[in-house]
Structure 1
């Protein structure tokens, strides 16, 4: 298992597009670094795993704080 992932690898792991993975990196949501003469982005596998764990925790907190009432937000207005 490699230590560093390309944006294509990250996109595959998260089942998102490469452009979405790039956006996560560029807006600072997902820690990454540029390597090589062409400055290609790399995400450390352990950082991706930490990010995924945090996303799970954030989602759990959101769901707990905002229980589903069976009514969509659009219907509440």
Structure 2
């Protein structure tokens, strides 16, 4: 989850390390964190799986940093649950 922290925080010099946290990420930022394409990111938003808002006159999409963290946590839980429920007991091919 360091990737989310890196994108949401603007860091300055080592001497006076001022950290400004960004509340919202662009879909490009989200795609970078999840290592997926922009179309996959948009599909997650359109399906409602990843909540987002539209802002500005052009309706640009933004995802709240906290929401992305929650999505990642849910994805880990879903994956773990799927592995526990795997009757074969072997990793997927």
Shorter chain as denominator, the TM-score bin is: 0.7 to 0.9
Structure 1: unaligned runs, 5 residues or longer: none
Taking structure 1 as the reference length, the TM-score comes to 0.86
TM-score by length of 2: 0.72
* Root-mean-square deviation (Å): 1.9
Structure 2: tracts of 5 or more residues without a match: 1-8, 10-21
**How many residue pairs are counted as aligned between the two chains?**
73
Runs of 4 or more, structure 1, over 2 Å off, are: 67-73
> Which structure is richer in relative contact order (CA contacts within 8 A, separation 6 or more)?
1
Aligned to 2:5: none
Q: Flag the structure with higher strand content.
A: 2
